[in-house]
């Protein structure tokens, strides 16, 4: 009798756990969440050191614009998205100022990553860290809300 009660209780517990796991909402990021100033903290799977020229982007979602600093040069461009296609985004017509700096590799890598970005998702379960992916699902860069 005790064994039957234990088995019955186990089934109820497992069923409850399965239902609760299935009903948890997955965290999503809206386009409104992207609005604002963001530090680039990771680029091509490499953490960026906090230097005085740390790249940042500022997204103005209502105006469909991106601006910021690519590491040396200021940048600006357009943001293309459709609210009905959640997490799909494109950065277009990115242009920069033309200052010469000693190390331009990181800046060039960021500009290329912005061109390749097509999708975003929250990282670490928060809307304050957003990861961007390419069309082949390669992780390109991570933004941290300032």
To 5 degrees, how large is the angle CA 92–CA 75–CA 56? 105
**pLDDT given at position 133:** 98
Domain residue spans in the chain? 31-145
**Phi/psi class of residue 45: alpha, beta or left (left: φ > 0; alpha: ψ in -120 to 50)?**
left
Record the pTM: 0.80
Q: What is the mean pLDDT of residues 23-52?
A: 84
Per-residue pLDDT at 66 exceeds 60: yes
**How many CA atoms does the CB half-sphere of 50 hold within 13 Å?**
2
CATH fold for the domain made of 31-145: Lipocalin (2.40.128)
Q: How far is residue 86 from each of residues 21, 31, 67, 78, measured CA to CA in Å? A: 23, 8, 22, 18
- What does the mean pLDDT of the chain come to? 86
């Amino acid at each position: 009798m005790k064994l039957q009660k234990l088995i019955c209780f186990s089934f109820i517990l497992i069923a409850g756990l399965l239902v609760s796991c299935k009903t948890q909402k997955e965290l999503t990021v809206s386009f409104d969440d992207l609005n604002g100033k963001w530090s680039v903290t990771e680029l091509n799977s490499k953490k960026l050191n906090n230097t005085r020229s740390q790249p940042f982007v500022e997204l103005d979602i209502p105006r469909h614009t991106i601006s910021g600093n690519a590491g040396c040069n200021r940048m600006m461009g357009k943001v293309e998205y459709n609210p009905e296609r959640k997490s799909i985004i494109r950065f277009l017509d990115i242009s920069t100022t033309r200052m010469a700096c000693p190390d331009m590799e990181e800046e060039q890598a960021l500009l290329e990553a912005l061109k390749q970005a097509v999708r975003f998702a929250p990282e670490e379960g928060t809307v304050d860290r957003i990861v961007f992916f390419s069309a082949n699902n390669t992780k390109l860069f991570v933004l941290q809300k300032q």
